[in-house]
Structure formats: C-alpha cells, structure tokens
C-alpha cells in the first residue's frame, strides 16, 4: 500500500475512459493524461480496470501484491487502498493494477454489483486530484462499475466509418448509469484518437462526429509514433524528446485542462 504525502485534494476528478471496443486508444489516453498530470505535480491514481492490464504494464510497478480483481472480490468499503502501488513514473502517479483474473469479476453480476468499485474506493479517491479509470474494451459489467465510480466519463473513438455509431453506444451507457441513480455522472466529451489531420477520410469522420455530437466533441489526439515509443520504454510521452513527443504532449495538456475544469452541465 502506498500513501500520498500530499494533503487531501480540495477537489477530486474521477474520470472513466471508455469505448465500445479495443485498440482505439483508451489506455494511451489514460497514460497521456497521467503523464501530463505528473509533469504538473498533480497527485494522480490510475485504476486499471482492463483484464489485459496494458496500463499496468506501462506503469510497471515494482510489486503488485493485490490487483483490482482482488479488490472487487473483497468488496469492503475503502479496501481499494490496500491495492495501491507506486508506478515507475514517480511519486505523483500511483496505480491499482490489473491482472487476467479480472475477467472472472466481469461475469459476476447481481443486483447492485455495478457499484462494487465505487464502494471499494470510498475514502480513497480524496487523496488525489485526479483518478483515471482505464476501462476494458466493451460496455459490460466492469465498464458499468467504472461509470458508477466516476463523476466524469470520456468516450474514445477512432475516426472511422463506425465512429458515430460506436460513440453513441458509449454515450447511451453513460445515460443508463445517470438514469439508474448516478445522476452526478457527466459526459466530459467524445474524443477521436490516432487522427491524421491532413488525411481526408479522418477530416470527414471528424466532421461527422461534430455533426452528431456538436460541442461534446473534444480536440482530437493526433497519431504520433512517440506515443508508442514511450509506452514501450515505460516512460510518460511527456519525457520523449522529439517533435512527435512534443505534439502528443501538447494534445494531452489541452485534454488535462478540460478534465480538471469544473463540470459544465
Ligand atoms: N495517438 C496515437 N498515436 C499513435 N499510436 C497510438 C495512439 N493512440 C494509441 N496508439 C497505439 O495504438 C494501439 C492501441 O492503443 P491503446 O491505447 O492500447 O487502445 P485501447 O486501450 O483502446 O485498446 C497501441 O499500440 C498504442 O500505442
Ligand atoms: Mg486498453
């Protein structure tokens, strides 16, 4: 267990990053935001809620005695604190790691089971200014748990033919949570990643997204190789010294400002 030396944050933003499917850039967004926060000295907790554990690999904790799977199995209020470990990025980025066994938790559904993560995080999130929940590549039980534990949700999509349809399904999942007793949950926005701004197809798909969702569409994250290179080296992209790293960092900085801004309802 790791505790922050910082006093409790005045406000905490708990943000879920979700999408209908995998490979669209959720984990990269979580890591990009965590890196931007780290560069500003903002105490941040990453909750890896994907059994593929990609965020856990990138944040490379020295030891991880408990995972988020153990936390959900235990389910006691506040027990998540026992699973928090230091990341290799520095003291401001901490992690609740994932593991393959988390798959089993997705199958355990019962009335109220979508609130398990929220219960286990009680009294835990207030030590951080930012809590980022990296969701699995679907809108099932684990993603529902993320939504009920969050006050904001960010929908990620790729700039493809399926973008509007995929984003709409994720927005619906947020609405279902809001209409089922979690009214505090707000949509932070919809964001396209891996965008090549001069590629006509991407321009067209971005315009389609804006037509469907208006100003809920956030400035896109560009396709930059530094994002992949930094992940491979287990460092934040903000420390990757190249034009590509700088372009990625700038995009994540803009997004972090939006994530930390007061919720517009
Ligand atoms: N903006 C980007 N530019 C370049 N590569 C990216 C970008 N976003 C994601 N990737 C790469 O695409 C792949 C899938 O991204 P990932 O974040 O793991 O998606 P998800 O978490 O939705 O499955 C990874 O190899 C990642 O490094
Ligand atoms: Mg992922």
pTM for the model stands at 0.96
Q: Which strands sit side by side in the sheet containing 44-48, from one edge to the other?
A: 85-87, 90-96, 44-48, 130-134, 13-18, 152-157, 186-192
Nearest CA to ligand 1 atom 9: 25
Contact 154, 30 (CB under 8 A): no
Judged against a pLDDT cut of 50, whether residue 19 lies above it is answered with yes
Ligand 1 atom closest to Cα of residue 50? 21
Q: DSSP for 179-215?
A: HTT-TT-EEEEEEE-SB-TT-HHHHHHHHHHHHHHGG
Flag whether 83 is in a domain. yes
Burial of 130 (0-12, 13-18, 19+ CB in 10 A): buried
Name the token pair of 263: 């919720």
Nearest CA to ligand 1 atom 10: 25
Judged against a pLDDT cut of 50, whether residue 5 lies above it is answered with no
Nearest CA to ligand 1 atom 25: 228
Output the domain CATH number for residue 100.
Answer: 3.40.50.300
Q: Over range 228-257, report the average pLDDT.
A: 97
8 against 159, higher pLDDT: 159
Domain region containing 132:
13-222
* Mutation probe of ligand 1 site: the residue of 159, 224, 227 with most atoms within 8 A of C-beta: 227
Which listed ligand is nearest to 142 at the C-alpha?
A: 2
3 state DSSP class of 73 = helix
Flag whether 4 is in a domain. no
Flag whether 248 is in a domain. no
Q: What is the pLDDT of residue 22?
A: 95
Flag whether 1 is in a domain. no
What digits encode the pLDDT tens for the residues 21-31? Answer: 999 999 999 99
Which listed ligand is nearest to 233 at the C-alpha?
A: 1
Alpha-carbon span 135 to 36, nearest angstrom = 19
Ligand 1 atom closest to Cα of residue 54? 18
Which listed ligand is nearest to 193 at the C-alpha?
A: 1
Burial of 198 (0-12, 13-18, 19+ CB in 10 A): exposed
* Ligand 1 site residues, Cβ closer than 6 angstroms: 19, 22-28, 54, 137, 193-194, 221, 223-224, 227-228, 231
* Mutation probe of ligand 1 site: the residue of 23, 143, 196 with most atoms within 8 A of C-beta: 23
Q: Over range 184-205, report the average pLDDT.
A: 96
Flag whether 206 is in a domain. yes
Alpha-carbon span 240 to 237, nearest angstrom = 5
Q: Give the rounded percent of residues in the chain with a pLDDT score beyond 90.
A: 91
Q: Over range 210-225, report the average pLDDT.
A: 97
Q: What is the pLDDT of residue 21?
A: 93
What digits encode the pLDDT tens for the residues 150-176? Answer: 999 999 999 998 999 999 999 999 999
Domain count, the chain: 1
Flag whether 86 is in a domain. yes
Position 8 confidence tier, pLDDT thresholds 50, 70, 90: low
Flag whether 191 is in a domain. yes
Which listed ligand is nearest to 19 at the C-alpha?
A: 1
Contact 179, 14 (CB under 8 A): no
Contact 75, 114 (CB under 8 A): no
Q: Over range 191-213, report the average pLDDT.
A: 96
Flag whether 52 is in a domain. yes
What digits encode the pLDDT tens for the residues 29-38? Answer: 999 999 999 9
Ligand 1 atom closest to Cα of residue 156? 22
Name the token pair of 251: 């995009």
* Mutation probe of ligand 1 site: the residue of 25, 30, 51 with most atoms within 8 A of C-beta: 25
């Amino acid at each position: 267990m790791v505790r922050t030396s910082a006093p409790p944050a005045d406000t905490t933003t708990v943000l879920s990053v979700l999408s209908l499917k995998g490979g669209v850039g959720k984990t990269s967004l979580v890591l990009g935001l965590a890196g931007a926060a780290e560069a500003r000295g903002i105490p941040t907790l990453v909750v890896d809620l994907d059994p593929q554990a990609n965020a856990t690999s990138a944040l490379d904790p020295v030891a991880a005695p408990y995972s988020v799977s153990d936390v959900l199995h235990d389910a006691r209020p506040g027990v998540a604190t026992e699973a928090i470990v230091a990341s290799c990025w520095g003291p401001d980025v901490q992690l609740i790691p994932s593991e393959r066994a988390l798959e089993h938790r997705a199958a355990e559904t019962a009335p109220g089971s979508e609130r398990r993560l929220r219960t286990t995080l009680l009294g835990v999130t207030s030590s951080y200014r930012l809590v980022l929940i990296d969701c699995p590549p679907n809108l099932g039980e684990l993603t529902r748990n993320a939504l009920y534990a969050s006050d904001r949700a960010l929908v990620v999509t790729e700039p493809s033919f399926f973008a509007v349809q995929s984003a709409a399904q994720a927005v619906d999942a947020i609405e279902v949570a809001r209409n089922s007793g979690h009214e505090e949950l707000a949509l932070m926005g919809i964001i396209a990643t891996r965008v090549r701004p001069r590629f006509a197809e991407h321009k067209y798909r971005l315009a389609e997204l804006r037509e469907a969702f208006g100003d809920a569409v956030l400035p896109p994250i560009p396709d930059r190789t530094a994002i992949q290179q930094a992940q491979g080296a287990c460092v934040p992209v903000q420390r990757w010294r190249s034009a590509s790293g700088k372009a990625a960092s700038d995009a994540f900085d803009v997004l972090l400002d939006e994530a930390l801004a007061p919720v517009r309802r």
